[in-house]
């Protein structure tokens, strides 16, 4: 086995994590391929995600998240339903969205769905809310992109009120007002954890602090260290709003295999194909082999390699960002279910213990 370059991420002035270390897995339900490289059906892909979630529980992951998408490549419009199926077959794994596009949904229904998941899972539900970097849901549900900011601002404010419990009174422009409205089901032991996913907007960081949501940094390209000011801004904003400190998490893509070469060789052609296709829609740069190796190197945003390589990169970036949680967005369209199961097994049995060891040494 050879090892990818292992330079350290520069230490930042972000405050050290004050919360338990959480190491999870996220998926968008990317369509998997069979042994002959033919895409499998949406139904089979969804069933495979259930099996992946069950394995994540067995190998020791702390969290399993499913991101909402509405395209042929990512047939995951109802993550909470799939999470409910996983909840029925697991005992300790926390389960949640990664991410729910709140702007094109109804906050009351999102609250009810995840309160229900919280009930059936025995209190293991979480939700990560986002504005929608993928905007497919806006035309699908009849929303105007011109209202992008207003929709999320108002709906986040209502969701924050719902989390408080008890009858809700709320007034806004984007949906019907509520007056002393009881919203069910009630949670048994207080609100479930709620996060706001942020991909680069300081305004979103401040919004998360203002409403009392935890902060999830979605870092999918470039140097993770550039997000350290967001961690500082978040904690400063919480203090300014008179709120207690809250956790900071990181969500980034990756792939784990036995060796660095195997991980890179498996992931690169799929990454090149998917990102090249979406570059025409989202304005991404078309990846080259050189740019890919930069992203998978010590200062890039992709966590691709052997368990040791991935673990060292996670520990370095958690330290640099003052974060206490890392969720690996595993998978890429075209990879096989078997390759994804291997990633999950290696992540749970080798990456997670190694990160915990590295972080324990850093905090001594």
pLDDT of 363 reads: 60
Pairing of strands 125-130, 178-181: unpaired
Q: Cβ(228)–Cβ(245) under 8 Å?
A: no
pLDDT band with cut points at 50, 70 and 90 for residue 310: very high
**Alpha carbon 27 to its chain's center:** 8
pLDDT tens digits, 143-152:
666 566 888 8
Q: What is the pLDDT of residue 77?
A: 87
Compute the distance between CA of residue 180 and CA of residue 78 in angstroms, rounded to an integer: 29
The pLDDT assigned to 15 comes to 47
SS3 73: coil
The backbone torsions φ and ψ at residue 262, rounded to the nearest 5 degrees and listed phi first, read -65, -45
Tell me: pLDDT of 284 over 80.
no
pLDDT given for residue 212 in this prediction: 97
Confidence band for 142, pLDDT divided at 50, 70 and 90: low
Q: Please state the φ and ψ torsions of residue 164, each to the nearest 5 degrees.
A: -70, -20
To which H or E segment does residue 5 belong?
none
Q: Which two tokens stand for residue 190?
A: 């207080």
- Cα–Cα dist 249/194, whole Å: 12
Which residue bears the tokens 């207690």? 244
Q: Which residues pair with 96 in a beta bridge?
A: 65, 126
Is 29 in contact with 76 (CB distance < 8 Å)?
Answer: yes
Enumerate the β-bridge partners of residue 33.
39, 336
Residue 186 near residue 260 (C-beta atoms within 8 A) = no
- Tens-place pLDDT, residues 77-106: 899 999 999 999 999 999 999 988 898 889
- Which stretches does DSSP call E strand in the chain? 22-27, 63-66, 94-97, 100-101, 125-130, 168-170, 178-181, 194-198, 214-218, 248-256, 303-305, 325-330
Residue 333 has a CB neighbour count (10 Å cut-off) of: 21
């Amino acid at each position: 086995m050879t090892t990818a370059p292992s330079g350290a991420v520069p230490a930042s002035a972000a405050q050290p994590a004050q919360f338990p270390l959480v190491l999870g897995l996220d998926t968008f339900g990317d369509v998997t391929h069979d042994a002959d490289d033919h895409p499998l059906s949406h139904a089979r892909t969804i069933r495979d995600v259930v099996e992946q979630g069950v394995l994540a529980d067995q190998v020791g992951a702390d969290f399993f998240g499913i991101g909402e998408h509405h395209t042929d490549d990512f047939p995951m419009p109802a993550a909470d339903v799939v999470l409910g199926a996983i909840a029925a077959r697991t005992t300790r794994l926390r389960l949640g969205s990664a991410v729910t596009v709140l702007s094109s949904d109804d906050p009351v229904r999102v609250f009810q769905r995840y309160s229900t998941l919280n009930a059936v899972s025995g209190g293991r539900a979480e939700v990560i809310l986002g504005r929608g970097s993928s905007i497919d849901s806006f035309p699908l549900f009849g929303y105007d992109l011109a209202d992008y900011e207003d929709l999320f601002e108002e709906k986040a404010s209502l969701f924050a009120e719902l989390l408080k419990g008890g009858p809700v009174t709320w007034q806004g422009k984007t949906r019907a007002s509520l007056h002393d409205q009881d919203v069910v089901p009630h949670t048994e032991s207080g609100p479930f954890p709620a996060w706001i996913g942020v991909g680069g907007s300081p305004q979103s960081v401040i919004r998360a602090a203002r409403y009392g949501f935890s902060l999830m940094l979605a870092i999918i390209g470039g140097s993770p260290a550039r997000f350290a000011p967001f961690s500082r801004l978040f904690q400063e904003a919480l203090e300014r709003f008179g709120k207690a400190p809250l956790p900071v998490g990181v969500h980034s893509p990756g792939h784990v295999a036995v060796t660095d070469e195997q991980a890179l060789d498996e992931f690169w052609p799929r990454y090149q194909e998917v990102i090249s296709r979406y570059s025409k829609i989202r304005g991404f740069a078309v990846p080259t082999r050189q740019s890919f190796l930069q992203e998978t190197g010590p200062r890039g945003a992709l966590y691709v390699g052997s368990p040791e390589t991935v673990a060292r990169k996670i520990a370095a970036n958690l330290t640099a960002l003052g974060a206490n949680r890392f969720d690996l967005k595993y998978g890429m369209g075209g990879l096989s279910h078997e390759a994804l199961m291997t990633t999950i097994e290696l992540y749970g049995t080798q990456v997670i213990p190694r990160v915990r060891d590295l972080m324990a040494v850093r905090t001594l």
